[in-house]
Amino acid sequence: MTVKYTKDHEWVRVEGDVGTVGVSDFAQHQLGDVVFVELPDVGRTLEKGKEAAVVESVKAASDVFSPVSGEVIEVNHDLENEPARVNTGAQTEGWFFKLRLSNPSELDGLMDEAAYKAFVEESN
């Protein structure tokens, strides 16, 4: 099981050919209190780097981009009623959606935990 990160602060945790996607703990800190999450429809085909979801906080609305390509197989409906889960558990209960990877080699271009940490420190 590996967790990879994008420069846009999404994470993807891969188990077999299924990736679980969310925003990083750093991202939720930057956003502040999340008040709304718009999730993709199950069955939708997502492209790496394209808009997949929307997250809205008291400060701003931001697009969430899919870290990898694939078909959405499940979304976290809990976020619709309790968007605060993104703040309390960005990388656990605050996951956004799961997708079946269509091109697992895309993972090679993403950062691992250590590289992401260095990236955040550098950009801060």
Task: Characterize the bridge pairing of strands 18-23 and 10-15.
Answer: antiparallel
CB closer to another protein, 49 vs 104: 49
Q: Which residues bind another protein (CB under 8 A)?
A: 33, 35-36, 50, 56, 58-61, 83-84
CA distance 7 to 11: 10
CA distance 47 to 53: 12
CB closer to another protein, 58 vs 114: 58
CB closer to another protein, 14 vs 86: 86
Minimum CB distance to another protein, residue 62 (Å): 8
Minimum CB distance to another protein, residue 69 (Å): 15
Minimum CB distance to another protein, residue 39 (Å): 16
- In angstroms, what is the C-alpha Rg of the chain? 13
CA distance 39 to 77: 8
Minimum CB distance to another protein, residue 1 (Å): 32
